[in-house]
Amino acid sequence: MQKTPVKILGAGLCGSLLSIILARRGYPVVIYEARSDPRDLSQAAGRSINLAMSSRGIKALKYAGIFDQVEPLLMPMTGRMLHFQNGTQELQPYGQKEDEVIYSVSRFNLNQILIDTAEKKYQVEIKFEHKVLSYDTNEDKILMQSPAGEYSLDAEAIIVANGAGSVIRKAFNDIEPIKPKESILPHSYKELTIPANADGSFQLQEDALHIWPRGQFMLIALPNPAGDFTLTLFMPTNGENSFSELVSDKKVNEFFNHFFASAVPLLPNLNDEFKKNPTGILGTVRCQHWHDADKLLLMGDAAHALVPFHAQGMNFAFDDCVELDKVIENNEGDWLKIFQNFEKNQYKNAQAIQEMALDNYIEMRDGVLDPKYALRKELSFELEQRMPNRFIPRYSMVMFHDQIPYAVSYQRGEIQKKLLEELTKNADKLEEIDFNQAEKLVASRLTPL
């Protein structure tokens, strides 16, 4: 029997992957996307913006049978290369096993592959330049705009994957059952570029995520296959050392020369890019519910946007796609049950990763400068080696152990954080730690995984 077509709003990372997964399950799928077809643009037309992908994202791409096409785009990053203000550098590995790496991937190329595969291999119909204008929560009507004019869609089992600024979600501001709250971070970001050398080689070590941590603000850089790095400045929006102060070339140059002297020689286009590239806002979206009966379900950033500091927004959006497919499998045809079970299974995980992402900003820009930081990291690796089924560093649980839900990583991470603080309180070196006591504490506070 022919299944009822599924309508998805948004052909971003979540919507395009979901369309493939649902088409593989036998659903005819139609996507409505505001932008024009990205395959008509060359990457050169836009900036080269990349994302870090980790095991949850990879698992979802494998689930959708598309990993082989994406794999050639992935650039491994084995650890954080810290660039201190005195010019010294230190590489801190992300994990301790060979496969414990994360990958830099071009957002543009990844989205292109997903869209192309959805359309060509799975006959997903993608209506580009079809934009959601508004949503009438009383009439359950979605007002759309296309090149041919305005029209409306009925809200019947619609999947809303139109990103952090979702018009549909905003229509529920103060309205049950979704009642979203947006918490805007008082920090913003700007993307810049470290170009490749003339021979195409990298100006920095290519298999690392580079960080220039400076307390209240930081620069980070992720490699691209063409030899360049996408560099992002994260800093307060207002106040001392903030975007509001960097209003002229002179101010930008003074600021970079003072705080990021080691990065300045790598940035020949700093002033042009600083002026030309937009300053982006960052925030967390928390909703009371993600669905309105069986009318619509929010997924990905539309449901639970998070700050980017744990590099999990896309990874979690991909995980959403797998989770939705699993609940469909057990409740085929019953969209209310599907939406309810999806929310039940993912909600606590969203809350957990949103908190961990906020925490990680402080760790990346400031925590890594704490003299005890390196010792705690060393100790957490040592405890993982001694008791691998009880103690796994929180970062590793989130990035490399996709079978451990975020909610569990968060809860165990809180216990582990206290343990590490206690054990390193009177120690400056690993040899000064009493491992008999440490192992007893771990065994008493953490259940086996």
Ligand X SMILES: Cc1cc2nc3c(=O)[nH]c(=O)nc-3n(C[C@H](O)[C@H](O)[C@H](O)COP(=O)(O)OP(=O)(O)OC[C@H]3O[C@@H](n4cnc5c(N)ncnc54)[C@H](O)[C@@H]3O)c2cc1C
Which range touches ligand X (CB under 6 A), out of 67-75, 149-157, 160-168, 382-390? 160-168
CB of 230 to ligand X, least distance (A): 9
Residue 308 binds ligand X (CB under 6 A): yes
Measured between alpha carbons, how far is 235 from 254 in angstroms, rounded to an integer?
16
Residue 13 binds ligand X (CB under 6 A): yes
Residue 105 binds ligand X (CB under 6 A): no
27: left (phi over 0), alpha (psi -120 to 50) or beta: beta
- CB closer to ligand X, 209 vs 379: 209
Q: Which string of DSSP letters, residue by residue, matches 235-249?
A: EESSSTTSGGG--SH
Position among 6, 8, 20, 33 found at the interface with ligand X (CB under 6 A): 33
Residue 300 binds ligand X (CB under 6 A): yes
The residue at minimum Cβ distance from ligand X is 12
CB of 430 to ligand X, least distance (A): 31
C-beta separation of 211 from 66 below 8 A: no
Residue 101 binds ligand X (CB under 6 A): no
Measured between alpha carbons, how far is 14 from 34 in angstroms, rounded to an integer?
15
- CB closer to ligand X, 14 vs 113: 14
What character string, x for contact with ligand X (CB under 6 A) and - otherwise, covers 164-203? Answer: ---x---------------------x--------------
Q: What is the DSSP letter of 358?
A: H
CB of 434 to ligand X, least distance (A): 38
Straight-line distance from the first to the last Cα atom of the chain, in angstroms, rounded to the nearest whole number = 43
- Residue 381 buriedness (CB in 10 A; 0-12 / 13-18 / 19+): middle
CB of 383 to ligand X, least distance (A): 27
Nearest to 306 by CA among 376, 268, 257, 360: 360
Q: Mutual orientation of helices 313-331 and 13-24 as an angle, nearest 10°?
A: 30
Position among 314, 321, 328, 338 found at the interface with ligand X (CB under 6 A): 314
* Residues in 238-297 at the binding interface with ligand X, rule: CB under 6 A: 280
- Residue 262 buriedness (CB in 10 A; 0-12 / 13-18 / 19+): middle
Residue 9 binds ligand X (CB under 6 A): yes
CB of 58 to ligand X, least distance (A): 11
Phi and psi (nearest 5°) for 20?
-65, -45
Residue 126 binds ligand X (CB under 6 A): no
Measured between alpha carbons, how far is 148 from 145 in angstroms, rounded to an integer?
8
Phi and psi (nearest 5°) for 8?
-120, 135
Q: Which string of DSSP letters, residue by residue, matches 44-109?
A: GGS---EEEE-HHHHHHHHHTT-HHHHGGG-EEE-EEEEE-TTS-EEEEES-SSTT--EEEEEHHH
Q: What residue spans of 260-312 are helical by DSSP H? A: 270-276, 301-304
CB of 206 to ligand X, least distance (A): 17
CB of 302 to ligand X, least distance (A): 6
CB of 162 to ligand X, least distance (A): 4
* Residues in 389-448 at the binding interface with ligand X, rule: CB under 6 A: none
Which range touches ligand X (CB under 6 A), out of 32-40, 121-129, 384-392, 414-422? 32-40
Host H or E run for residue 378: helix 373-386
Number of chain residues interacting with ligand X (CB under 6 A)? 32
Residue 217 binds ligand X (CB under 6 A): no
Position among 163, 213, 405, 413 found at the interface with ligand X (CB under 6 A): 163
Residue 15 binds ligand X (CB under 6 A): yes
Measured between alpha carbons, how far is 389 from 325 in angstroms, rounded to an integer?
30
Residue 11 binds ligand X (CB under 6 A): yes
- Please name the residue that has the structure tokens 């946007």: 305
Residue 131 binds ligand X (CB under 6 A): yes
Residue 132 binds ligand X (CB under 6 A): yes
CB of 266 to ligand X, least distance (A): 20
Residue 29 binds ligand X (CB under 6 A): no
What character string, x for contact with ligand X (CB under 6 A) and - otherwise, covers 44-73? Answer: -------xx---------------------
Residue 223 binds ligand X (CB under 6 A): no
CB < 8 Å & 24+ apart, contacts of 386-392: 386/435, 386/439, 387/439, 387/442, 387/443, 389/448, 389/449, 390/442, 390/443, 390/446, 390/447, 390/448, 390/449, 391/416, 391/442, 391/446, 392/449
CB of 11 to ligand X, least distance (A): 5
- 3 state SS of 234: strand
- CB closer to ligand X, 56 vs 376: 56
- Site residues for ligand X per CB under 6 A: 9-15, 32-35, 51-52, 131-132, 161-163, 167, 189, 232, 280, 300-302, 308, 311-315, 317
